[in-house]
Amino acid sequence: MDQKIISRLRKIRQQRKQHLRYLRQLNLEALKQRHLKKLTILHSNDLHGDFLAAETDSALVGGVSMLSGYVSKVRSEEKNVIYAIAGDMLRGSIIDSEFKGLSTIEVMNLLTPDVATIGNHEVDYGLAHLLFIEKCANFPIINANMYLTSNGTRLFQPHYIAEVDGIRILFIGVLTKDVLSSTRHEELVGRLVDAHDAAQEVRKVADSYKTADIDLTILLTHIGFEEDKRLAAELAPDGIVDIIIGGHSHTYLEKPYVESGIPIVQAAVGTKQIGRFDILFDELHHCIDSYTWTLVPVTEEYCPHDEALEELIGRYKEITDAKYGRILTRLPRVFTHPVRNRETDLGDLLAEGLRVQLDVDLVMVGSGCIRGERFGPIVTLQDLLEVFPYKNPMIGFHMTGAQLRRAVTFLMRDDAILKGDHCENFQFSKGFFCEYDCSTHRILQLKMNGADVKDDDVYLVAAEQYYYVNMEEALSIPLDDIEKNGQPYQMATDAANVLEEYLTSHDFNRIDQEPRLVIHE
C-alpha cells in the first residue's frame, strides 16, 4: 500500500483515538458533575467568651454579633452548611465569669452551632457545673475521651452524625488531658475522671458508628496543633478520618496543614475570624473530590450584625458594667502579654504585685492564667478580672535553690521556649533573674535579689493553687519533695483580690523595669 495512504490512515486512527479519549473524558466529567455536591463547613475554636467587637483603625472587628451575622449569611447563600465549634467556649470575659458560663451558653444558643466539643476551660467552673451547662445547650456537645473511672462511663455523647443533602458526616470530639490538671482541686469529682488516649477513642467510636452510610468523618479536637499532627499521622493508615478541626493552641493558619493526607485547620482564637471549608463531595465514591479553605476575617465588610444577639449581650453588659466598672488605677502606659512562653511586662506587673502584697521571696504566676493581651492605662475592676479571671487561692511553700534551678531548667526546655507559643510557662516577680543559653541548654546565671542561687538556699515562694497541685507537670518537681521543706499553707483565698488591693494602694508613676529572663537563642 502506498506509504502516503498508510500515513494518512495512521493519522486518522490517531485523531479518532484522541477524539474518543476526549468524548470519554467529557462523559466522565459529566458523570462526575452529576455526583458532586457542595458542602460548606464553618468552624470556630477558643471563643473564650469573646462577645464584644473591638475597634481597630476605626473599623469593628470580631464579636459574636458579626460572627453570627456571617454564619447566617452563609446559610442563606449556600445550600449545605454546617457550623462547628472546637472547644473553649467559656472563660475570658467578665460576662462569662459573672454568670459562670450560663450567659455564654445562652449566647451560643443564638449563635446556633450544629455541633461543638468541649475544651479544657469548659471545666473551669467544675465538672458538675459543666454537666449542667451541657443540659442548657440547644446543640449537641460531644466528647469521646472523658470517662468516669468508677464505672467506665463516658461523660458525654462521643459523636454526632449530621446529614445535609444526603451527605452523612460523623463528628467525633476529643479533649486534651490538660483537663485532668483542672479537676485535681475538686476533692471528690477530680478523682473520678480520666481522659483516655485520643487515637484509641477515635478508633473505638469509628468502629462502632462509621457504617457504610457514613460519608465523611471529621474530628473536633481540643488537643493543640502539634497533637493534631501526631493524631493524624497515627490514624491515617486506618483511613477513618477525613478532616481534623482543632483548637487549644490558638494556632493561626494561612492554609490547611496536611498530615498524611488529612487536612488540619484551626481558626486562631476568639471571634475575630472564622474558618471556612468549601468542599466538593463525590457521592459516587463517598469521598472529598476537592476543597478550599479560608480564614475569613469577622469584619463589617463580610459580616452583618445580629441585632438579637446584640440585645442579649447588651443586657448582660449593663449588669457587669454597673458592678465592675469602678476604676482601680491609672498606669503610665499599656502593659502587654502577647505570648505565654516569654517574659512579658504585664506578667512582671502582676507577679510583682502579688509578691509585694504577700511579702514572699518569689511569686510565680502561670502565663496561662493571664487571659488578656493588653492592660491599661486606665484600669477598671472589670479589666483586672478579664485579664486575671480565675478565682485561684495563693499557696505559700518553701523551695530550695536546687529545686528552683531544676524548675527553671525544665521551663527553659526547647519545646517550651523555642516552639511553645501555647506551652505553659511562668512570669516571675522582682528579684528573680535567669540568663539562659538555648544552644548549650545551660543556665548561665540564676540569681535572687542579686545573689547567686545556691543549692541549699531556701526561699518562700507563692503560686496559684492550680500550679501547686500540678507541681510535677508544671515544674518537674514532685509535690512530695516540696512538702519535705515544710508545710504549705494558703496565703490568700483569691489572687485577684490581692491584685485589686495592690492596684488601688500603690503609685505607678515609676514602675520597675528589671528583666527577669534573658534568653540567648
> Over 70: is that where the pLDDT of 284 sits?
yes
Residue 466 neighbours by CB under 8 Å, 6+ apart: 181, 182, 185, 366, 369, 390, 392
Give me the pLDDT at residue 9, please.
Answer: 46
E strands, 273-377, where?
273-282, 287-297, 327-330, 335-336, 362-366, 374-375
Q: Which three cell numbers stand for residue 493?
A: 483565698
Give phi and psi for 500, each to the nearest 5. -60, -45
The Cα–Cα gap between 454 and 143 comes to 47
Give me the pLDDT at residue 416, please.
Answer: 75
Give me the pLDDT at residue 11, please.
Answer: 53
Mean pLDDT of 128-139: 93
Separate counts of helices (H) and strands (E) for the chain: 17, 29
The Cα–Cα gap between 419 and 441 comes to 15
The domain segmentation of the chain, as residue ranges, is 34-315, 325-520
Mean pLDDT of 460-472: 93
The Cα–Cα gap between 485 and 405 comes to 16
Give me the pLDDT at residue 460, please.
Answer: 98
123, 175, 269 from 373: Cα distances, Å: 23, 25, 12
CA angle 458, 464, 466 (to 5 degrees): 115
> Over 60: is that where the pLDDT of 14 sits?
no
E strands, 107-261, where?
115-117, 141-142, 146-148, 159-164, 167-175, 193-195, 216-222, 243-245, 257-259
Residue type, 331: L
Report which of 400, 370, 411, 361 is spatially closest to residue 481, judged by C-alpha positions. Answer: 400
Mean pLDDT of 393-408: 97
Contact assessment for residue 279 and residue 293, using Cβ atoms and an 8 Å cutoff: no
Give phi and psi for 277, each to the nearest 5. -100, 130
The two domains 34-315 and 325-520 share their CATH topology (first three levels equal): no
Q: Which sign, positive or negative, has the C-alpha torsion 412, 415, 416, 419?
A: positive
The Cα–Cα gap between 118 and 89 comes to 8
Mean pLDDT of the chain: 88
Most confident option among 48-57, 181-190, 390-399: 390-399
Mean pLDDT of 399-407: 97
Among residues of the chain, what percentage have pLDDT more than 70? Answer: 88
Give me the pLDDT at residue 232, please.
Answer: 96
Give me the pLDDT at residue 289, please.
Answer: 94
Which of 1-15, 62-76, 283-297, 446-460 has the least mean pLDDT?
1-15
> Which position has the grid cell 478550599?
292
Q: In 102-214, which residue ranges form alpha helices assigned H by DSSP? A: 102-111, 127-136, 178-183, 198-209
CATH code at 34-315: 3.60.21.10
Confidence of residue 177 (pLDDT cuts 50, 70, 90): confident
Its CATH class, for the domain covering 325-520, is alpha beta
End-to-end CA distance of the chain: 80
Mean pLDDT of 16-21: 50
Confidence of residue 67 (pLDDT cuts 50, 70, 90): very high
The Cα–Cα gap between 121 and 118 comes to 8
Give me the pLDDT at residue 52, please.
Answer: 85
Report which of 116, 115, 40, 112 is spatially closest to residue 81, judged by C-alpha positions. Answer: 40
Confidence of residue 325 (pLDDT cuts 50, 70, 90): very high
Give me the pLDDT at residue 31, please.
Answer: 46
Higher local confidence (pLDDT), 120 or 73: 73
- State the DSSP code for 154: B
Give me the pLDDT at residue 173, please.
Answer: 96
Contact assessment for residue 384 and residue 502, using Cβ atoms and an 8 Å cutoff: no
Higher local confidence (pLDDT), 54 or 448: 448
CB atoms closer than 10 angstroms to residue 510: 7
Which residues partner with 280 through β-bridges?
Answer: 38, 290
Task: State the pairing for strand pair 59-61/54-56.
Answer: antiparallel
Confidence of residue 116 (pLDDT cuts 50, 70, 90): very high
Chain segment 340-374, per-residue pLDDT in tens? 888 999 999 999 999 999 999 999 999 989 988 99
Q: Which three cell numbers stand for residue 456?
A: 541549699
Give me the pLDDT at residue 27, please.
Answer: 53
Chain segment 90-108, per-residue pLDDT in tens? 987 899 999 999 999 999 9
